[in-house]
């Protein structure tokens, strides 16, 4: 039984009041549509996924194309039924079609698989994933042939009579609480046989995919519903929520963050005030690591065990070893931090910083593209860019590596056990040999041999009595 997945992502997103395409708005650190594509990619290969694009198609194409999925253009956007009509030819050769919405981003792979398996087991022509949220306002409602709620549970049937959009609900239908999530499975043959029968006689004058339920029932085909299930981290009703407004997106973002924290805590990570902590879905953290309030772990960050990330630190696409302390207010991007390192407070590690085991990068130290050796220290107020720094090195307060001459970047090399005195300026390209000393406040423009002392500053002159004479002169002028 072959399956294709179609993801509807062509709509205008009128309710959003944004110039950006709806499906490119971000939650959990990535566009809505990429959440849906990621879940779909765990069900079928990219070559069996068809993303339907239309409104601002080029922007959407640019974001989704790198995943390798296929793209189908719905040139005019005349409703969800019309979107599937646009994809009909592309998916005709598959036995079955799973339909997902680009604006239902928390949908889990497990749920897609449940829909698929239920659809096959029920031998249905159409399977609708449903939920029963506290407030069903705005969603289409599912009328089962015999619904639960008012009847004993054992009488409830999976068979669906039709789906009714919010605006079309009649008096008694207002009571229906089971919503259409916009996620479906179809047997392709009956879908395509009846897809042309959709009509525009509704509030928006669009072709509604939801009308396929009644059309298929009329054609004596089997249409069934399956409810989304709760998990420990996420309720079924939250998982299938749509994102039509910014406020709805932020609710989903929060649900996603909350689920992420819950998962990590279940794996032995301590998270204080998790409602303030922002963790992207791809992040991994080892047990006994502690995250303080208002920390962010973003992108593909991976942290080891027994670390502590103190408040207001943000780590992005960074690999962190075990036993690392990230003190308050650090920003770390695209870097690698060895075990037992101490960062901050207020350290800024820009892309390409590789910090050796046990090193210390302290207050207001900025690094960019620096290999920083085992046990080396830069405690205070330094800029280190484009450098290879050995082990056991001490970088004094206020050290600056001048890596840029206004046109090109140049490299600095500092050997093992070097001591750079405070307030030194090293003008790259330059190299400091193993075990050498640079005197405080030096301006180093030539390489320093191993074990040498470089003094690059004017010799101090003391003028005896100068200050006293000056004060006496000033006093005379005043009188």
Q: Tell how many helices (H) and how many strands (E) occur in the chain.
A: 9, 37
Provide the minimum distance between the beta carbon of 183 and Ca ion in the complex, in angstroms, as a whole number: 11
Segment near ligand UD1 (CB under 6 A), from 100-108, 322-330, 347-355, 456-464?
100-108
397 interacts with, out of Ca ion, ligand UD1, none, CB within 5 to 8 A per kind: none
Give the Cα separation of 375 and 394 in Å (integer).
9
- Looking at the Cβ atoms of 240 and 341, the one nearer to ligand UD1 is 240
28 interacts with, out of ligand UD1, Ca ion, none, CB within 5 to 8 A per kind: none
52 makes contact with ligand UD1 (CB under 6 A): yes
**Residue 385: exposure state from Cβ atoms within 10 A (0-12, 13-18, ≥19):** buried
What does the block give as tokens for 145? 């042939």
Provide the minimum distance between the beta carbon of 81 and ligand UD1 in the complex, in angstroms, as a whole number: 7
Query: Per-residue string for binding with ligand UD1, 169-198, x by CB under 6 A?
Result: ----------xxxx----------------
111 makes contact with ligand UD1 (CB under 6 A): no
CA-based torsion, 35, 238, 223, 11: positive or negative: negative
Q: At what angle do helices 32-41 and 57-64 cross, to 10 degrees?
A: 50
Q: What are the beta bridge partners of residue 97? A: 4, 186
Question: Is residue 82 flagged as an active site residue?
Answer: no
- Looking at the Cβ atoms of 105 and 385, the one nearer to Ca ion is 105
- Looking at the Cβ atoms of 40 and 448, the one nearer to ligand UD1 is 40
The active-site residue, picked from 82, 360, 380, 410, is 380
Q: What are the beta bridge partners of residue 402? A: 427
Provide the minimum distance between the beta carbon of 35 and ligand UD1 in the complex, in angstroms, as a whole number: 12
Give the Cα separation of 331 and 347 in Å (integer).
6
372 makes contact with ligand UD1 (CB under 6 A): no
Name the site residues for Ca ion (rule: CB under 5 A).
Answer: 103, 242, 244
Provide the minimum distance between the beta carbon of 241 and Ca ion in the complex, in angstroms, as a whole number: 9
Residue 459 CB neighbour total at 10 angstroms: 5
Identify the residue among 6, 162, 165, 298 touching ligand UD1 (CB under 6 A). Answer: 165
Question: Within 13 A of 115's CA, how many CA atoms are on the CB side?
Answer: 33
Question: Distance of CA 301 to CAs 121, 195, 253, 319, Å?
Answer: 40, 45, 18, 6
Provide the minimum distance between the beta carbon of 204 and ligand UD1 in the complex, in angstroms, as a whole number: 8
Q: What are the beta bridge partners of residue 290? A: 270, 308
209 interacts with, out of Ca ion, ligand UD1, none, CB within 5 to 8 A per kind: ligand UD1
CB 158 within 8 A of CB 143: no
Give the Cα separation of 51 and 59 in Å (integer).
13
83 makes contact with ligand UD1 (CB under 6 A): yes
Residue 392 CB neighbour total at 10 angstroms: 19
Q: Do β-strands 314-316 and 331-333 pair in parallel, antiparallel, or remain unpaired? A: parallel
Identify the residue among 25, 74, 112, 419 touching ligand UD1 (CB under 6 A). Answer: 74
What does the block give as tokens for 195? 């897809």
Provide the minimum distance between the beta carbon of 106 and ligand UD1 in the complex, in angstroms, as a whole number: 12
CB 333 within 8 A of CB 318: yes
- Looking at the Cβ atoms of 179 and 370, the one nearer to ligand UD1 is 179
- Looking at the Cβ atoms of 165 and 333, the one nearer to ligand UD1 is 165
Provide the minimum distance between the beta carbon of 109 and ligand UD1 in the complex, in angstroms, as a whole number: 19
Provide the minimum distance between the beta carbon of 416 and ligand UD1 in the complex, in angstroms, as a whole number: 58
- Looking at the Cβ atoms of 74 and 313, the one nearer to ligand UD1 is 74
Segment near ligand UD1 (CB under 6 A), from 80-88, 144-152, 365-373, 389-397?
80-88
Give the Cα separation of 167 and 348 in Å (integer).
53
DSSP 169-182: --TGGGG--PEEEE
210 makes contact with ligand UD1 (CB under 6 A): yes
- Looking at the Cβ atoms of 210 and 353, the one nearer to ligand UD1 is 210
Residues 234-263 that bind ligand UD1 (CB under 6 A): 242, 244
Contacts of 260 (CB under 8 A, 6+ apart): 28, 279, 280, 281, 283
Which residues form the catalytic set? 380
Q: Which residues bind ligand UD1 (CB under 6 A)?
A: 8-11, 52, 54, 74, 77-80, 82-83, 101-104, 139-140, 163, 165, 179-182, 208-210, 242, 244
């Amino acid at each position: 039984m072959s399956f294709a997945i179609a993801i509807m992502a062509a709509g205008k997103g009128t309710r959003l009041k944004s110039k950006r395409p709806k499906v490119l708005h971000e939650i959990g650190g990535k566009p809505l549509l990429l959440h849906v594509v990621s879940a779909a990619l765990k069900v079928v290969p990219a070559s069996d996924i068809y993303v339907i694009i239309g409104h601002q198609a080029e922007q959407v194409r640019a974001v989704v194309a790198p995943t390798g999925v296929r793209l189908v253009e719905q040139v005019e956007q005349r409703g969800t039924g019309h979107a599937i009509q646009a994809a009909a030819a592309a998916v005709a050769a598959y036995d079955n079609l799973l339909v997902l919405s680009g604006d239902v981003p928390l949908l889990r792979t497990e749920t897609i698989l449940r829909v698929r398996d239920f659809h096959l087991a029920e031998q249905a022509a159409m399977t609708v994933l449903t939920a029963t949220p506290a407030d069903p306002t705005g969603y289409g409602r599912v009328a089962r042939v015999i619904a639960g709620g008012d009847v004993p549970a054992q009488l409830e049937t999976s068979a669906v009579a039709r789906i009714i959009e919010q605006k079309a609900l009649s008096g008694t239908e207002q009571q229906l609480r089971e919503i259409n999530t916009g996620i479906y499975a179809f047997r392709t043959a009956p879908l395509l046989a009846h897809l042309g029968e959709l009509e525009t006689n509704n509030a928006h004058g669009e072709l509604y995919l939801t009308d396929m339920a009644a059309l298929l029932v009329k054609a004596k085909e089997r249409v069934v519903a399956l409810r989304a299930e709760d998990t420990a981290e996420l309720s079924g009703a939250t998982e299938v929520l749509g994102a039509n407004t910014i406020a709805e997106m932020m609710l989903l973002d929060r649900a996603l963050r909350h689920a992420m924290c819950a998962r990590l805590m279940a794996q032995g990570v301590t998270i204080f005030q998790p409602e303030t902590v922002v963790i992207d879905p791809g992040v991994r953290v080892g047990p006994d690591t502690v995250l303080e309030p208002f920390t962010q772990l973003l992108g593909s960050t991976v942290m080891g065990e027994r670390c502590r990330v103190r408040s207001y630190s943000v780590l992005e696409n960074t690999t962190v070893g075990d036993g690392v302390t990230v003190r308050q207010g650090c920003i770390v991007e695209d870097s690698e931090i060895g075990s037992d390192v101490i960062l901050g407070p207020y350290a800024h590690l820009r892309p390409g910083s590789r910090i050796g085991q046990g090193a210390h990068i302290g207050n207001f130290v900025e690094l960019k593209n620096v290999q920083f050796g085992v046990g080396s220290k830069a405690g205070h107020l330094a800029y280190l860019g484009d450098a290879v720094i050995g082990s056991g090195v001490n970088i004094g307060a206020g050290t600056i590596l001048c890596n840029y001459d206004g046109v090109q970047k140049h490299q600095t090399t500092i050997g093992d056990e070097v001591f750079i005195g405070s307030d030194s300026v090293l003008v790259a390209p330059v190299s400091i040999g193993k075990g050498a000393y640079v005197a405080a406040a030096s301006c180093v423009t030539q390489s320093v041999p191993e074990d040498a002392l470089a003094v690059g500053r004017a010799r101090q002159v003391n003028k005896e009595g100068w200050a006293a004479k000056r004060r006496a002169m000033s006093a005379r002028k005043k009188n």
